[in-house]
Structure 1
Amino acid sequence: MRDYDEATSFLGDWGPFQLTIFFLLSASIIPNGFTGLSAVFLVAIPEHRCLVPDSANLSQAWSNASIPWEERDGQRVQSRCWRYRLDILTNYSARGLMPGVHVNVSNIEKEKCLDGWHYDQDLYQSTVVTEWDLICNNDWKVPLTSSLFFLGVLLGSFVSGQMSDRFGRKKVLFATMAVQTGFSIVQVFSVNWEMFTVLFLIVGMGQISNYVAAFILGAEILGKSVRIIFSTLGVCIFYAIGYMLLPLIAYFIRDWRTLLMALTVPGLFCIPLWWIIPESPRWLLSQGRISEAEEIIRRAAKKNGVTPPDVIFSPSELQDLKDQSHKAYTFFDLLKTRNIRIVTFLSILLW
């Protein structure tokens, strides 16, 4: 049987069809670049200190002295999680005593931030951290938020390939795009940290799954020379474009809900691609759907302005394809031969 690339070589390498698939699939990766590092801005921790309410009736001097000083990273800064007891400070203030003059402030008993925190807004108007006070006793929730997102990425990495083998590259690509975009929109309206984090995990699953599906779809549709450029430069450069645009967008949008919505909206522009990007002919052939695969190839030839042969696949080739169409593959096939074991190991090492 001829190789698929040989059978479809009449299409050429860089025709209008290939260019369209190359740039549209690459562009669909840009929202993934947003999502990959969005937590840097969404879950940012601004400078903060204990809130001293006006009801404490402190003089300006005692209000300024209400926060203890401590060493942090070799610098002397105000505490983020402690303050001096306000009832004691209020008593001293009412008696007209001055901190540092009549009273040694460091001897006053400390207490936690019972009235919340004051957050510096020089960099951020709001973040997930300031929304639900993920600091001090709750500061463990910040790294956990990012870890659960990447747990979703890990889970998506395991299931996306199996799903695209079963249901098709195109269906999985757009279904997981919908998961990433749809759940990100719901995430904007999170009512608590638990809801935000669970949705973030699901978004992570969708993010890697549509990346993998787009990668496979492009590699299978495009010819040999174009496939190499798509796999190494196409998806990587457009992913990097998303990375580079992320801080630019975050510079102008300092509220986390508005920022997340702005990062999500570009995903909606991928909807029309459903009617432009075809299913992988290779996958259709592996499923025995020969006529559908040939129809896509003939449409590609028409778009490229070339005349396809009357018979793209010979009867013997079609029979071989039908015989192979029901063969199932598992993770163990990645270790089956010496060559594929080397490729698998190098892929793991590089990533």
Structure 2
Amino acid sequence: MNFPDYDDKTAFLGEWGPFQKTVFTLLCLSVIPNGFNGFTMVFVGDTPAHYCLIPADLNITDEWRQAAVAPDEDAGESRVSKCSRHRLDIIQNYSDRGLNPWVDVNVSTIPREHCLDGWEYDRSTYISTIVSEWDLVCSDDWKAPLTTSIFFLGVLTGSVTSGLFSDRFGRKIVLFVTMGIQTAFTLIQVFSPSWLIFCLLFFIIGMGEISNYVSAFVLGTEIFSGSVRGMFSTLGVCFFFSVGYMILPLAAYFLRDWRMLLTVLTIPGFFYIPLWWFIPESPRWLVSRGRVKEAEAILRKAAKMNGVEAPDVIFPQVQLMENTEKLQTYNLFHLVKSTNIRCITVLLCLVWLTVTIGYYALALNTSNLHGNIYVNSLLSAVVEVPALIMAWLMFRCWPRRLCLSSTLSFGGLVLLIIHFIPEDMNSVSIALVMLGKFGLSAAFSIAYAASAELYPTVLRNSALGICSMASRVGSITAPYFIYLGSYYRSLPYILIGSLNVFSGLLCLLLPESLGCPLPEAISHMQRVVRCKKRHPHSSTHL
């Protein structure tokens, strides 16, 4: 189906009237929960200091209670052993005989046993986390990073399914259904009786989290035009995502119990129900589906809000063809159907994969940085604000390839420098981590906007869903990049930095979309650098 120039046909609305301002604000507000839901595991799944529980009814002296969890001489500088204790039956015997563990007995010679009675957790930072509630430590310590990965596995699944549903049934309905899923299942998660049930619900929440964000992003990208579209895609939704991220450490500081924290974080979701009557469906998507009358009704209502007069017929070409031409159905196969679109998809997937590994690894690693976890997490969120402002300013006038390449390369190079910082210079290392997060946050924002400009309306949501799917493969593996730091402190930063510098170079192969109209059909797409047409009339099959 041939499409008219949508932006020209709707130019009578203007770029920034009451209609655009209302939709802009409401769509941005809808992504706030994504900011805190995506990082709750920083606090909900953190591992407090712990040691083996010594039963209270065990009749031994305080000195022997301390000695029971004392490490052997080769256990390093730890004051207590986290995963084993000295055998209590032997300690009971020594205590009954009145021996002093620090004078009369060599404690390190007493055989050790596992924490048979559970663990005692430090309550100074948290009242409870899922780790302390279900004892996800020692032999079960793999469950904590797996929990985060399960959430992002749900995000990956939602990336694909929501894109297909959104392109088939509409942006608006997917937006609100997924907001409902995210809110309802987070509330149910509060009552999880076990780690397994918690993970199952977390998977479903992940599906709703990304679907909500991508649908809101695509809906706004298709409704707005000109500079407003660039501001929305690089600054608007990303800024309000960061607002949600900033809310998380503030809420977690006052709510130290994980169930209470999740309960409070579900409240904003219920306030979004009335937005159904104020956020419209994408007229651009409706036109692509041949539903011209519905699109025109929305645009006439928008014109009335803006105080302008709409033409009698807004899409005359489409109206004439509506009853004579069969609409083509598009699917994921069209994203790899030709060399050009296949190259674009592969390049963008690689870029999204690497930037997400870096972004989420740095965000989730705040609990392992030196200093206060709440301050570090808030700082990690706050640093995104100037990054997003810079991304927006760059996006207004710089070539898209240069914007993406420079921010990725900057973030990667800064992280590589951490390898050369001495371990005792913690403040310098933290500053470099935040600077790397600054660059990757800007790159993440630009990646969304630049990708949306490259794909046509008929495939835009599905394409962003596939890119987001690649992105979630990165977020699934991000916790394990952090885990590598237990073997070598700088290894995560070396790997993340190298990957992002490499992807920054790959960006230079992407088509340039600066100043180009948003493509409506596949034939309108820009071409990858050095990707030549095979036949002079093959553009309709790109």
| TM-score tier after normalising by the smaller chain length | over 0.9
Distance, in Å, in 2 between the alignment partners of 1:60 and 1:175 is 57
Partner SS state of residue 218, structure 1: helix
8 Å contact kept, 1:286–1:321? no
Give the percent of matched residue pairs that are identical in Structure 1 and Structure 2: 57
Q: Cα distance, 1:184 vs. partner?
A: 0.5
Q: How does 1:105-254 map to 2 (within 5 A)?
A: 105-254=107-256
Partners of 2:274 and 2:73 in 1: CA distance: 55
Measure how far apart 1:26 and its partner are. Answer: 1.2
**Separation in 2, partners of 1:235, 1:322:** 38
More divergent stretch after superposition (151-160 vs 66-75) = 66-75
Q: Distance in 1 between matches of 2:246 and 2:291?
A: 41
Alpha-carbon distance between aligned partners in 2 of 1:72 and 1:335, rounded to the nearest angstrom:
57
1:155-178 deviation line (CA, Å, top 9, x unaligned): 111111101112111111000111
Q: Equivalent of 2:84, from 82, 85, 92? A: 82
Question: What is the Cα deviation at residue 95 of structure 1?
Answer: 1.0
Give the superposition deviation at 1:65: 1.0
Q: State the Cα distance separating 1:340 from its structure 2 match.
A: 3.6
Distance in 2 (alpha carbons) for counterparts of 1:11 and 1:71: 76
CA deviation after TM superposition for structure 1 residue 266, in Å: 1.3
Distance 1:17 1:98, change over 3 A: same
Change (3 A) 1:179 1:87: same
Shift of 1:70: 5.3
CA 1:11–1:70 in structure 2 vs 1: closer, same or farther (change >3 Å)?
Answer: farther
Once the two structures are TM-superposed, the CA of residue 345 in structure 1 deviates from its matched residue by 3.9
Equivalent residues in 2 for 1:37-76, closer than 5 Å: 37-69=39-71, 75-76=77-78
- Taking the aligned partners of 1:130 and 1:250, their CA distance within structure 2 comes to 16
Structure 1 residue 335, shift from structure 2 partner: 3.3
C-alpha distance in 2 between matches for 1:74 and 1:303: 69
Counterpart Cα distance in 1 of 2:342 and 2:234: 21
- C-alpha distance in structure 1 between counterparts of 2:74 and 2:16, whole Å: 58
Contact 1:170 1:217 in 2 (8 A): yes
Q: Deviations over 1:275-330 (max 9, x none)?
A: 1001111222223222211111000000001011112121x331335566621112
Residue-pair matches, total: 350
CA distance in structure 1 between the aligned counterparts of 2:229 and 2:219, rounded to whole angstroms = 10
Instruction: Give the conservation status (yes or no) of the 8 Å contact 1:287–1:325.
Output: no
- Corresponding residue for 1:317? 318
Counterpart contact for 2:151–2:206, Cα < 8 Å: yes
In 1, the alpha carbon distance for the partners of 2:176 and 2:292 equals: 23
Bigger Rg over Cα: 1
Equivalent residue, structure 1, for 2:14: 12
CA contact (8 A) 1:33 1:243 kept: yes
User: 1:130-183 CA deviation, whole Å, 9 max, x = no partner?
Assistant: 111111121111111011111111111111110111211111100011111111
Q: Please, which of 271, 291, 294 is the counterpart of residue 292 of structure 1?
A: 294
Cα deviation, residue 224, structure 1: 3.0
**Alignment-mate amino acid for residue 167 of structure 2:** D
Mapped to 1, the partners of 2:323 and 2:225 lie a distance apart of: 23
- Contact 1:156 1:205 (8 Å CA) reproduced: yes
> Residues of 2 paired with 1:252 and 1:346: CA distance?
43
1:329 counterpart letter in structure 2: Y
State how far apart, in whole Å, the 1-side matches of 2:227 and 2:323 are: 28
d(CA) in 1 for partners of 2:73 and 2:198?
A: 33
TM-score, scaled to structure 2: 0.62
Residue type of the alignment partner of 1:331: L
Does structure 1 conserve the Cα–Cα contact (< 8 Å) formed by 2:300 and 2:310?
A: yes
Distance 1:182 1:92, change over 3 A: same
**Higher mean C-alpha displacement, 134-143 vs 296-305:** 134-143
Within 2, Cα distance between the matches of 1:61 and 1:247?
A: 38
Residue in 1 that maps onto 2:368: none
Give me the whole-angstrom Cα distance separating, in 2, the residues matched to 1:38 and 1:100. 43
Structure number with higher relative contact order (C-alpha < 8 Å, ≥ 6 residues apart): 1
Q: 1:348 & 1:60 partners in 2: Cα distance?
A: 58
Give the CA deviation at 1:341. 4.1
What letter matches 2:236 in structure 1?
G
Distance 1:73 1:87 in 2: 22
Residue of structure 2 in register with 1:330 after alignment: 331
When structure 1 is superposed on structure 2, of 92-101 and 4-13 the one drifting more is 92-101
Match of 1:102 in 2: 104
Q: Check conservation: 2:63, 2:101, Cα contact below 8 A.
A: yes
Contact 1:286 1:322 in 2 (8 A): no
Structure 1 letter corresponding to 2:128? S
| Aligned mates of 1:185, 1:324 — CA distance in 2 | 47
Q: Conserved in 2, the CA contact under 8 Å of 1:183 and 1:199? A: yes
The aligned counterpart of 2:369 is none
Structure 1 residues 129 and 262, CA, compared in 2 at 3 Å: closer, same or farther?
Answer: same
- Which residue of the partner structure matches residue 270 of structure 1? 272
- Give the counterpart letter for 1:16 in structure 2: P
Whichever residue aligns with residue 135 of structure 1, its letter is V
**Structure 2 portions without partners, runs of 5+:** 353-542
SS in 2 for 1:318: helix
Deviation string 1:33-66 (CA, Å, 9 cap, x unpaired) is 1111111111110000011112110111111211
Q: Distance in 2 between matches of 1:76 and 1:106?
A: 14
| Distance of 1:72 and 1:341 partners within structure 2 | 56
